[in-house]
Chain A
Amino acid sequence: MDANKEQALPEAAAQRREGMRLLARATLAELVDAWEAIADRLDVAPVRGPETGLVMVRGRIGGGGDAFNLGEATVSRATVRLASGEIGHGQMLGTDKERARFAAIFDALFQTEKHRPAVEALHRQIAARIDAEDRRRAEETAATRVDFFTMVRGDD
């Protein structure tokens, strides 16, 4: 629960973490297309789930103080094992178990030397979409910024 934990993460773990962040935002179409584009697909065995449950989302008093429980959110998660042995975890907001299962598969594939480039390409695709959406929204918000000007009264 330490805010600075990520600083201590080794490079490989940090990359996997970033990949999981992106996979949590992937659309089902992005995941299915990427899966079907893989020529020699490995057998995938379920280890846990896919299942839907709740995560209690916490906030901080005053924005940066001690934590309090804000309310829950639905989360779907899955864990899978590839025929080659790698274990993958997928978890994301919402009730879409199929997306969670695919996210777990791609997390596992990310750990294989052979399929890693394909997963990295998927990561880049998702990142590009999110960045474009965020950029667009930021621009729309920026257009509503108030430009104050001062009305001068009197002669001098």
Chain B
Amino acid sequence: MYVAVKGGEAAIANAHRLLADRRRGDRSLPSITIEQVVEQLGLAVDRVMAEASLYDRALAALAVRQARGDMIEAIFILRAYRTTLPRFGYSEPVDTANMKVERRVSATYKDLPGGQLLGPTFDYTHRLLDPSLIADETVPEPAVKEPGEHVMRVSDILDGEGLIEGDGRMPEGHVMGDLTREPMEFPMARDLRLQALARGDEGFLLALAYSTQRGYGRTHPFVGEVRIGEVEVELDLPELGFAVSLGVIRVTECQMVNQFKGSAKQPPQFTRGYGLVFGQSERKAMSMSLVDRALRTDEFSEDIVAPAQDQEFVISHADNVQATGFVEHLKLPHYVDFQAELDLVRCMRREYGAARTGGEDGMKEATE
């Protein structure tokens, strides 16, 4: 017999009212605005956009505020919001070579066209808590200098000598996949894997990337370059017959250069991993590029010996909205399931007890 259980409406309503109260916090303090979140917690906003797979700074900031700063909750809210909107179309691919670069560093070349541009980085800070931020002291304006030459892509430098594989090509006749339109299937092509990684959980990808460095699927990586900046998004308008710009988005791109492969047909050359992420997030872009390279085992006939090389393992567990849904559902009522388990364990214990008593009786009989 199944008995449906109802109730809890008043408790739920009051719990949500309490949540709203705790979210607001001390009423004697001013309420935080969306603009403040966008301007002063920008990297939290960027992470929410990247993992929700929706670029909209204001909505992401709203989600951060609504979630009380719980990043995965904010990502969940924004991901859910995107399902309420119609899809207008697919943009032209963004052109990262023409990015308005705000930061670009290369670990492979010291002097390169465009130079090493540090930008607004945490690198080289001492990671000491800064008490001046408590006092809200005046912040000086940034220094300025005359801009230099065009920031050339590092992969193009190596490509000129044929020392590195080209930008990724899919097999002839491949139709680009879209995870939001088709169910996941394995083996998964590289374009779909990159879509999954771009919205994958930063912590999960960071851990996997780290595991490859520690020897679980080593790829001998160098950061060819990391660049952050704005790129234009263009949409083809069929009624006009040409593509128009919709504005600019900020992205982070990582070109990872990995140790060489060669074959009987081809001389050895460096291989590559690629990372591209919404917003400013080089940790995520670097992790993505390391995992992208690790997953390309089929292209380089590499044995799958580590978790980071196993595409079904990596892609199936990279989405934190899916992951949190399944982990967190465990706290929801499982009263009936658990009742069945209770009955089962009681039954097993009875049988165990009976077998023991029966066994002891048998022993007694034998000794008599």
Contact = CB atoms under 8 A, between A and B. Distances in A.
Interface of A: 1, 3, 5-6, 9, 13, 16-17, 20-21, 24-25, 51-75, 77, 89, 91-95, 134-146, 148
Nearest to B247: A93
Nearest to B103: A141
Contacts of A16: 240
Given A61-B191, A63-B155, A91-B246, A52 B100 contact: no
Contacts of A63: 96-97, 153, 155, 167, 253, 255, 274
A146 B251 CA distance: 22
A73 B58 CA distance: 12
A60 B153 CA distance: 14
A66 B169 CA distance: 5
A72 to B, nearest CB: 5
> Which has the most chain B C-beta neighbours within 10 Å: A74, A137, A138, A141?
A141
A64 B167 contact: yes
A68 B119 contact: no
A16 B241 CA distance: 12
13 contacts: A6-B243, A51-B86, A53-B86, A53-B87, A61-B169, A62-B272, A63-B253, A67-B93, A71-B54, A75-B88, A75-B235, A144-B103, A146-B116
B278 interface: yes
> Which has the most chain B C-beta neighbours within 10 Å: A24, A65, A72, A137?
A72
Contact of A6 (B59, B242, B272): B242
Contacts of A70: 94, 194-195, 198, 251, 276, 278
A8 to B, nearest CB: 9
Interface stretch (B6-14, B66-74, B139-147, B309-317): B139-147
Given A62-B167, A67-B93, A54 B85 contact: yes
Contacts of B276: 59, 70
B111 A148 contact: yes
Which secondary structure dominates chain B's binding surface?
mixed
Given A144-B118, A145-B145, A61 B88 contact: no
B360 interface: no
B128 to A, nearest CB: 21
Interface in B4-51: 49-50
B93 to A, nearest CB: 4
Contact of A145 (B87, B148, B247, B248): B148
Contact of A54 (B82, B146, B255): B82
Given A61-B194, A63-B153, A91-B246, A145 B94 contact: no
A74 B55 contact: yes
A143 B177 CA distance: 42
Contact of B56 (A58, A95, A137): A95
Interface in B194-242: 194-195, 198-199, 232-233, 235-237, 239-242
Contact of A1 (B59, B100, B146, B236): B236
A31 to B, nearest CB: 14
A55 B89 contact: yes
Given A60-B167, A143-B142, A20 B244 contact: yes
A65 B167 contact: yes
Interface of B: 49-50, 53-56, 58-59, 82, 85-94, 96-97, 100-103, 110-111, 115-121, 142-148, 153, 155, 166-170, 174, 176-180, 190-192, 194-195, 198-199, 232-233, 235-237, 239-249, 251, 253, 255, 272, 274, 276, 278
B125 to A, nearest CB: 13
> Which has the most chain B C-beta neighbours within 10 Å: A21, A70, A139, A142?
A70
B119 A144 contact: yes
B166 to A, nearest CB: 7
Nearest to A13: B242
A55 B91 contact: yes
Given A1-B236, A66-B169, 14 more contacts: A53-B86, A61-B191, A61-B194, A70-B94, A70-B278, A71-B50, A71-B278, A72-B53, A89-B239, A91-B244, A135-B147, A142-B145, A146-B115, A148-B111
Contact of A53 (B85, B120, B243): B85
B68 to A, nearest CB: 23
A137 B147 CA distance: 9
A53 B240 CA distance: 19
A72 B199 CA distance: 10
Contacts of B110: 148
